[in-house]
Structure 1
Amino acid sequence: MKLVTKRKITNKKTTKSRKKRKKGLHRKKTSVNKKKLIVVIVCAIIVLFAVGFVGKKTVSFVSNVWPNIISLKDSLTGGKVDKSNVNSDEQFDVGDEDKDTLQKKHNVFIDVGCGGYETGYVTSNIKEKDMNLKIAKKVAKKLAKEDDINVILSRQEDVYLSSDERKALAENEKAEVFVSIHMAGEKSGDASGVETIYQKDSENGSYDLAVIMQTSISAYVKAKDRGTSAYDMSVLRDNSIPAVYIQCGFLSNSSELKNLNNSKYQDELAEGIAQGILTYIDAKK
């Protein structure tokens, strides 16, 4: 005996129309979802580009500014000592001078700016303290070739010295002139040139020394002549001898940084400084 299963009778016309409606709705929803997906993707790409651009600028800004912030903090708080070593190639050594200094008539004090945890301005992995030492030693080498000049450097290594220690060392060595070597830096990156600074209201011959130094340096290097300026600076203040503070250039300026990092330019700069010192000493004779 067979069981007959009743089949549900459906209206074919109705079923077809339903299928059509379903298919239509499906296509419509898919179209809308694709549009939303495209919008989301485009927005995501824009956001990623924006974040990448801002991130790149931020990283660049932080990488340049952060070391200077740390340097300032360490200077104020006596932070940890920077133990990195400066390249000592072609640098002045005490042994370069004649051992017999009794015939030396003029003591010249070259003060090497910054040192130790006081790194100074930092950019592109170049520290001001290292550049100061490199230039100062080149100046010392040139001066040491003169028979009547005895050169004293405030430091020949990466060590920290206070302004008072620098001035006291120059006085103890009975120096005739005090020349402090520095670099400069500022935010815009546009500033450039060489400037010689002397102590405001000084009456010890510092102004005359500054004028001669600036004139001499400008004659030897192709850089903007920023002239001389009078400021109140701790390393110059109450200095008993003619003293100047030379800003040899701006490390924040990419073009000038390239020059300052060039050996030939460094030699020209050192020659200008050395000749300025010799001119001042000769003028006093």
Structure 2
Amino acid sequence: MARRRNNRSSRRNKKRKINKIKLSVLIIIIILFIAGTFKLTQGAILAIQNINDNKQKTSVKESSENDNETLQTEVDKNINKKYTILIDPGHGGNDKGTIANDKVTFEKDITLKIGALVAQKLTKQKDVQVIISRNEDKYVSLADRAKLANEQNVDALVSIHLNGQTGGSDATGLEVYYTKEKDDDSYELAKQIQETITSYIDVRDRGVKSDRFQVLLQSKMPAVLVECGFLTNNEEVKKLKDEEYQNDLAEGITQGILTYIDENMKK
């Protein structure tokens, strides 16, 4: 009898131990299931948030890129802009400007590229609005360029050109022109652009000069004409055709304009 009781007691204890183990395993499984479900839920939430964030970033980027593709030829009346600059790529259409010795490199094409780069760089400034006298290969008269600047009431005009040497091919370098006929800050604008470009790139500094160019005389605001280099010089024309050099020229012109705005127009 004693043995039977001991055996029964032993079987009960084994069952209790087995039941406790089963219960513990069940509890662990439930905890793991809850934890796994929570992680999956959090992962799904994060994935959705990342998708939304990426969509917003893509939308902003595409909007910014589209803005840079369009260069305005007149003011868009944006009240948040304080300063309006007219960028004037010289020549265009049947007016080729200076022609290089290779007979296929024209001033009108390079000035358009540099002018477009300057305009795009300036549009990134929150307080600057840019218009451009031509954004394609078309003819615009000198009178119409000045007229555009006057009608749009711009704060400054920057005309971009390339130089040519008559009877020679050894002349090189950069010079910026203004006219003494106007009592304004044209000289200051020319000086800032000349100094900034020559600090950005390795080019002969031919200085700031005065002349009676029509687009400068007929415009009613500070106006300058930038001669970016000589197409008649075979070595300089190689640089002027180089996209990186064009970008450096555009950066120098842009920073010169911005320095002028900071030091003169904000007085």
TM-score, scaled to structure 2: 0.69
Task: State the match for 1:239 in structure 2.
Answer: 219
Deviation at 1:116, TM superposition (A): 1.3
**Residues 195-214 of structure 1 aligned to structure 2 (within 5 Å):** 195-214=175-194
Residue 220 of structure 2 aligns to a residue in which SS?
A: coil
Residue of structure 2 equivalent to 1:112: 89
1:235 is paired with a residue whose SS is: helix
User: What is the 5 A alignment of 1:54-93?
Assistant: 93=69
- Aligned counterpart for 1:129 among listed residues 86, 108, 120: 108
Q: TM-score, normalised by structure 1?
A: 0.65
Match among 158, 170, 175 for residue 190 of structure 1? 170
Q: How far apart, in 2, do the equivalents of 1:175 and 1:205 lie?
A: 14
Query: Structure 2 stretches of 5 or more lacking a match?
Result: 1-67
Q: Tell me the equivalent position of 1:48.
A: none
* 1:257-281: CA deviation from partner (whole Å, max 9, x where unpaired): 1111111111111000000000111
User: What's the counterpart of residue 163 of structure 1?
Assistant: 142
How many residue pairs match? The answer is 192
Q: CA RMSD in A?
A: 1.6
1:204–1:240 CA contact under 8 A, matched in 2? no
* Offset of residue 93 of structure 1: 3.2
Q: Percent identity?
A: 42
State the alpha-carbon separation in 1 of the partners of residues 149 and 77 from structure 2.
20
- Per-residue CA shift, 1:179-226, capped at 9, x if unaligned? 000001113110000000001332121111111111111111110000
Q: 1:254 aligned to 234, 238, 261, which one?
A: 234
Is 1:229 the equivalent of 2:205? no
Give CA deviations for 1:126-163 in whole Å, capped at 9, x if unaligned. 11000100000011111111111111000011111111
Aligned equivalents of 1:178, 1:122: Cα separation in 2: 25
Shift of the 165–198 alpha-carbon distance from structure 1 to 2, 3 Å rule, reads: same
Other-structure match for 1:101: 78
Q: Structure 1 stretches (4+) deviating beyond 6 angstroms?
A: none
Q: CA shift at 1:100, angstroms?
A: 8.3
Q: Aligned pair 1:173/2:149, yes or no?
A: no
